[in-house]
Amino acid sequence: MAMPDQPAFIGDRRARAAVQLLRRLTPPELQQVVALMPELRRLSAETDRRQSAADYWRRVLNEERGGYHPSLNDQFLIGLTYREYFALSETEQDDFWERMFAEEVWEIEDFEDVNVALLVKAAFAG
């Protein structure tokens, strides 16, 4: 199983000891370990999926920016840069979002219904 390149992942003493032990095993023995612990395969697949999703959105955003490499000094929202936003405490970040969403608060009665005649015909006409 491929191990992620994250120091924090192997920072734990027990994990590091397990990795040292696993590295002594032959490929067939490693395959046996994975067969005996199917959760290892699932964990690996899950990590791959999360990574590929993150890579996808990073690539799409990069295309949207026209190849421009973003900086922490770029504008984020409500007049703050990314750097200023990340410097906020958790409470301040909550306030930040509250302030932004307070820009649009509709009462239930303010919503306008859409006519779904087309939906009715398209979806339920057989």
Partner 1 sequence: MISPEPANILRRRAHLPIVRLALDTLTTFQPTRYFKRWARRLCHEGFTHEDAKVIALGTFGVDEFQSQFGVDALVTGDLNLIRNYEQRLTSIQRRLRAMTAQLSEPFCYARLPVIITPAEAAERLAADVISPE
Q: Is 35 in the site for partner 1 (CB under 8 A)?
A: no
Q: What distance in Å separates the CA atoms of residue 119 and residue 117, rounded to the nearest whole number?
A: 5
| Nearest distance from C-beta of residue 23 to partner 1, angstroms | 29
Q: Rule CB under 8 A: choose which of 5, 39, 90, 107 binds partner 1.
A: 107
Q: Is 90 in the site for partner 1 (CB under 8 A)?
A: no
Q: 21: which 2 tokens?
A: 């032990």
Within 8 A by CB and 6+ apart from 80, the residues are 96
Q: Is 60 in the site for partner 1 (CB under 8 A)?
A: yes
Residue 20 or residue 62: which is nearer to partner 1 going by CB?
62
